Amino acid sequence: MSDQHPEGASGGAPAGAFVVIAEFVVKAGHMAAFMEAALDDARCSVRDEPGCRQFDVVRPEGLPDAVLFYEVYDSREAFDAHLRTPHFDRFRLAFPPLIEAERPVRFAGRVHP
């Protein structure tokens, strides 16, 4: 998490934050390229977007081709702003030839902490 963002009392995003969960199945032999694009988007999001509180890139155990993004924004508007950034555009252009599938993106409201 970037030091420039104020945190909730628990040290993370405030309760009521807007959560985005995106899941991908990466083609065999393309994980390194996918991770390069994903980590660029994640790092730039936390560093450059005031409304992005957290952007985790996760590799689930037992699913060697799966990658999950867990993103936390101050609001839906902050997420919508994310969709208009240069780093998101780079990711959006880079990932399609690298994946077998993209699961439907899920949205949630953060309850705790």
Domain CATH number, residue 23: 3.30.70.100
Examine residue 1 and state whether it is found in any structural domain, yes or no: no
Examine residue 57 and state whether it is found in any structural domain, yes or no: yes
pLDDT of residue 13: 52
> Whose structure tokens read 């439907």?
104
Both tokens of 35, joined, read 């991770």
Examine residue 8 and state whether it is found in any structural domain, yes or no: no
pTM for this model (two decimals): 0.84
Number of domains the chain is built from: 1
Q: What are phi and psi of 3, to 5 degrees?
A: -70, -15
DSSP 8: -
10-residue stretch averages of pLDDT, the chain, 113 residues long: 37 74 98 98 98 98 98 97 98 98 96 82
Whose CA is closest to 10, among 95, 110, 89, 101? 110
Rounded distance between C-alpha atoms, residue 60 and residue 31, angstroms: 13
Domain that holds residue 94: 18-65+75-106
Examine residue 111 and state whether it is found in any structural domain, yes or no: no
Rounded distance between C-alpha atoms, residue 97 and residue 113, angstroms: 37
Examine residue 101 and state whether it is found in any structural domain, yes or no: yes
Are residues 107 and 19 in contact, defined by beta-carbon separation less than 8 angstroms? yes
pLDDT of residue 6: 39
Examine residue 13 and state whether it is found in any structural domain, yes or no: no
pLDDT of residue 113: 76
Examine residue 11 and state whether it is found in any structural domain, yes or no: no
